[in-house]
Structure 1
Amino acid sequence: MAAHTAHSAHSARTGTRDLRETAHAAQVRELTAAGVLEDPRWRAAFAAVPRHAFVPYFWADRGAGHERLWAEDPDPGQRARWLRGVYVDAPLATRLRDGRLVSSSSQPSLMAKMLTALDVRDGDDVLEIGAGTGYNAALLCHRLGDEHVTTVDLDEEITESARAHLARLGYHPTVVTGDGARGCPARAPFDRILVTCMLPLVPHTWLGQCRPGARILAPLSTGLIALTVRDADFAEGRFLHTPAYFVPLRGATAVPPPDRTGMVRGLPYELVENERFQFMLVLTAGVLHPREALDLWRSEGRPGRERFGVSVGPEGQWSWLDDPQGPYVWPLGEA
């Protein structure tokens, strides 16, 4: 009887492992078919690093509240829901505090796009702002090696959890508990900075922790800005066309986003819902009146994200349309 029970438990564990491996392989195929894993080195990284190892539980919306789905639920139906949810191409809420989202696992296809846009080369040293579950750091470790990856998060619970997830799969990057807005001077200089939380402004401190020619890829407004660092005082670049929505950067030096209450009052509903116009509206909040933003957006041919850029200098930060020296330049993040 005991032998039969042990055999049944072994079979159940094997079946669970097979289901997880099958779901992981299916996700890699889907991302490849979607065209976001064209680089074989990133494709190999996604194939080697299973998402489920970094998301042992997540919170799903349920009516007015949230439902916790987890890998060890005694109900096999709930375990199946957890596994399906982990391998859906969607962001997952991994930490809530007083009902507020403080950490998540990013959408895998967006992660792939960002890692590709980061344009790393062998030997590059990368700083990740926002450790999250550790999944992104594991992908970077697979591509570059542990010694080239540093990941920072403000919350000790998050960094401890990320470190444990990474170690379980044999990855040992430098995981630091600290204010990401301050960077990580002890590990500088960096060739790349990858940010996985939304910024209202680019912390100037990061520029001084970069080598000349470094690349900073960060969520700003509802897009992704790709900055090239000239030196400790100046960086400039354009937005990618890709939409991006992330948990805001937290920390003592983080700047709060502008109050958008009433921002869209009186604007045509179909434009309020237009994602490209929303991007410009948020980017110029506190500088352009929403009606001014709408008139300019229409007169300039309804520009998408990729026509906008950002300059970061010693005197401040500016967003611009088409040309940093052109007629449409606005102070960034000023209320």
Structure 2
Amino acid sequence: MGAHEARAHLVDPEVAHAAQVRELAAAGVLRDPAWRAAFAAVPRHLFVPWFWTGRGAGHERLWCEDPDPERRARWLRGVYADEPLVTRIRDGELLSSSSQPSLMAKMLHALDVRDGDDVLEIGAGTGYNAALLCHRLGDEHVTTVELDEEIAESARTHLAGLGFHPAVVTGDGARGCPARAPFDRILVTCGLPRIPPAWLAQCRPGARILGPLSTGLIALEVRDAGLAEGRFLHNPAYFVPLRGAGAAPAGPAGGVPYELLENDRFQFMLMLTAGALHPREALDLWRREGRPGRERFGVTVTPEGQWSWLDDPQGPYVWPLGEEGAGS
């Protein structure tokens, strides 16, 4: 095989796709055969025809039809790297991205779906995640909501290209999708400051809500329309915020050593307790409690309010969550 042929082989979409599935399986994130089959059947490159990569102070767009073969090769290598990809920028603002595939696999596994479950996805993005859900559950069981009509239409096109036709709804994800309720699972692919109360009323009892909060993934069990509660997974998670419901800045971290501000576990607690604890108080508590990781924290949602907590929702360490009215 000549050098040119070897390079072409290395960037062949089918070869790159198969290699990514093997890598995800080897990493242990595709333990469920149904999800491995979904990732094997749904190629990422069909959902990410272009993406933006940072270059100094600006951005560079890599796309599938670039006339330069080397740039096309970089596009394909980027698509099948285990990395999040920026897919939409408008006026300098990041609007949408394609999540890191290994994190997607972890979230889908943690969603714990069963045959026949009805799933609401908040944030259609490229449509890739919805396609994986459609392969696993069937189109009729998948609803995905996207605020931006242009992004929603692009997702519909990508999905239809592979023969998937879930309900792709343009609307405010914080309001859910009452016309398609009730749901057994809600999967959120954008960062949240708190849990929109409308979601609970659209869930069946025993439903599961999984989504990014602070810099973690919260898994809530919905008891009924008035109560949901659960713990964080241990995984870190960084997502584009849910627009219109962005979290308030954490504020100055006075008295906190710089090196701890970059500590992933402490940063999580600092964001989760922002507005309720002074950063120095958060640091003292974090040290006193043995530098707890995400999995020791949880969240309770009721009509009266929302709280985060450490270890026990009835214990001594409970804080109001987010800003009142955000996400509602």
What TM-score do the two structures reach when normalised by structure 2? 0.95
Deviations 1:144-171 (A, max 9, x none): 0000000000000000000000000110
Partners of 1:220 and 1:326 in 2: CA distance: 21
Establish whether residue 217 from structure 1 lines up as the match of residue 210 from structure 2: yes
- Structure 2 CA distance for partners of 1:269 and 1:17, relative to 1, 3 Å: closer
Alpha-carbon contact 2:181-2:203 (below 8 Å) kept = yes
Shift in Å, 1:334? 3.6
* Equivalent AA in structure 2 for residue 284 of structure 1: T
Alpha-carbon contact 2:193-2:323 (below 8 Å) kept = no
Establish whether residue 234 from structure 1 lines up as the match of residue 227 from structure 2: yes
Alpha-carbon contact 1:310-1:319 (below 8 Å) kept = yes
Alpha-carbon contact 1:201-1:332 (below 8 Å) kept = yes
Establish whether residue 320 from structure 1 lines up as the match of residue 309 from structure 2: yes
Deviations 1:4-28 (A, max 9, x none): xxxxxxxx9xx68980000000000
Establish whether residue 177 from structure 1 lines up as the match of residue 177 from structure 2: no
Match of 1:241, SS state, is strand
Partner of 1:22: 15
Question: Which residue of the other structure, out of 78, 91, 115, is the alignment partner of 1:85?
Answer: 78
* Equivalent AA in structure 1 for residue 296 of structure 2: R
Alpha-carbon contact 1:287-1:334 (below 8 Å) kept = no
Shift in Å, 1:260? 2.6
Shift in Å, 1:261? 3.7
Query: How many corresponding residue pairs?
Result: 318
Establish whether residue 76 from structure 1 lines up as the match of residue 65 from structure 2: no
- Structure 2 CA distance for partners of 1:200 and 1:25, relative to 1, 3 Å: same
Match of 1:240, SS state, is strand
Shift in Å, 1:274? 0.6
Match of 1:41, SS state, is helix
Shift in Å, 1:325? 0.3
Deviations 1:77-96 (A, max 9, x none): 10000000000000000000
Partner of 2:296: 307
Deviations 1:168-211 (A, max 9, x none): 01100000000000000000000000000000010000000000
Unpaired segments of 5 or more residues in structure 2? Answer: none
Structure having the higher Rg: 1
Partner of 1:3: none
Match of 1:324, SS state, is coil
Partner of 1:8: none
Question: Which residue of the other structure, out of 247, 251, 258, is the alignment partner of 1:257?
Answer: 247
Partners of 1:194 and 1:88 in 2: CA distance: 23
* Equivalent AA in structure 1 for residue 317 of structure 2: Y
Establish whether residue 49 from structure 1 lines up as the match of residue 42 from structure 2: yes
User: How do residues 67-216 of structure 1 correspond to structure 2 at under 5 angstroms?
Assistant: 67-216=60-209
Shift in Å, 1:100? 1.2
- Structure 2 CA distance for partners of 1:16 and 1:54, relative to 1, 3 Å: farther
| 4+ long deviations beyond 6 Å | 15-18
> What is the CA RMSD across the aligned residues, in angstroms?
1.4
Match of 1:249, SS state, is coil
Alpha-carbon contact 1:234-1:312 (below 8 Å) kept = yes
Deviations 1:284-323 (A, max 9, x none): 0000000000000000000000000000001000000000
- Structure 2 CA distance for partners of 1:17 and 1:184, relative to 1, 3 Å: farther
Unpaired segments of 5 or more residues in structure 1? Answer: 1-11
Establish whether residue 64 from structure 1 lines up as the match of residue 57 from structure 2: yes
- Structure 2 CA distance for partners of 1:56 and 1:17, relative to 1, 3 Å: farther
Deviations 1:131-151 (A, max 9, x none): 000000000000000000000
Partners of 2:206 and 2:103 in 1: CA distance: 24
Alpha-carbon contact 1:283-1:332 (below 8 Å) kept = yes
- Structure 2 CA distance for partners of 1:271 and 1:165, relative to 1, 3 Å: same
Alpha-carbon contact 2:11-2:73 (below 8 Å) kept = no
Alpha-carbon contact 1:25-1:47 (below 8 Å) kept = yes
Match of 1:102, SS state, is strand
Identity %: 81
- Structure 2 CA distance for partners of 1:274 and 1:17, relative to 1, 3 Å: closer
Partners of 2:226 and 2:14 in 1: CA distance: 47
